[in-house]
Every structure is written in structure tokens, then in C-alpha cells.
Amino acid sequence: MMEEMEHLFSISAAAQLAGMHPQTLRQYDRIGLVQPQRTAGRSRRYSLRDIVQLREVQRLSNAGVSLEGIRRVIDLENQVHALQSRVTELEAALDDALIYRPGARTFAAGTAGEIITLDQGRRRVQAAGGELVVWHPVRRSSRQLPADD
């Protein structure tokens, strides 16, 4: 499967896919609208994401947006994309920290009502006929428990 960030297309192929003239792509590169990667020989190589961005530049240009306006829109879209990726990373890290946090303790009530500390990931052996109830903290919820009457 082709990755969107693989730089596969020459300037002529990218121009054809974007429906533009190669000179337009060179101009967009010079002013920083779409900046393809370069080979060792300094040839431009465009990714699928670059092609999509070129089409967006063309769409905005046809709608009357100036090149400076288009550059600003692209910069903001790139910032949003980066921030969304970072939020996803942080959410995963938070989930891991809540589940696997070091030093987390679990408590249980013994048969005589005493509090027993359990090691994380280990089960306590129950005495014959005794019950063991384990309480695990959960994330806060907006739900309110009914008040005792």
C-alpha cells in the first residue's frame, strides 16, 4: 500500500495529477506553498499529500483567495493536523498511565472488615467461605450517585 508521505512523483507527474503546469509547481515551491522533498540530485519529489495540497491551492485560488491567504490557510491546516496527532498521542499516554501507573494500589476488605492492600496485578487467595471485594478506582464521571436517605 502506498503511504501518503512517500515522495514518489516527479514534477511532471505531480503537475499532471494536480491539473497544473510544472512551472506553477516550481513557483509554489519558491514561495513556500507546497514544498516537495528533494533527491540527492536536487530534483523535486512530490508525495500524495503534496498532490492533495496542490489541488487545495488550486481550489482556493479559483475561489479568489490570494496566494498569501492560501499560504496562511495551509499553515493553519498543518498546525491543526500536528495538534490532532499530539492530542491522540497524549490521550494514549494518559490511558496507559491510568491503567498501568506505577505504585498504584488496590484495596480490599477482609472478612473481619479490615483493609487489605493488594499488589497490582496479583489476586488475593480467599479463605474458605470468605468473600473478597476489590475496589478499583475509575475515571470521574458526570453521573451522580443517588444520595442515601
| Torsions phi, psi for 9 (to 5 deg) | -100, 135
| Torsions phi, psi for 122 (to 5 deg) | -120, 145
Provide the pLDDT for residue 149: 46
Measured at the alpha carbon of residue 35, what is the angle toward residues 34 and 37, in degrees to the nearest 5?
140
Provide the pLDDT for residue 113: 78
**CATH 1.10.1660.10 domain extents, the chain:** 7-99
Instruction: Tell which CATH classification among 1.10.1660.10, 3.40.50.2000, 1.10.357.10, 3.40.50.720 matches the domain 7-99.
Output: 1.10.1660.10
pLDDT tens, per residue, the chain with 149 residues: 456 557 789 999 999 999 999 999 999 999 889 989 998 899 999 999 899 999 999 999 999 999 999 999 989 988 999 999 999 999 998 888 777 766 666 777 777 878 877 766 666 665 555 555 565 665 554 444 555 44
Measured at the alpha carbon of residue 6, what is the angle toward residues 38 and 80, in degrees to the nearest 5?
95
Q: In the Cβ-directed half-sphere of 27, how many Cα atoms lie within 13 Å?
A: 8
CA dihedral (37, 38, 44, 49) in degrees, to 10, reads -10
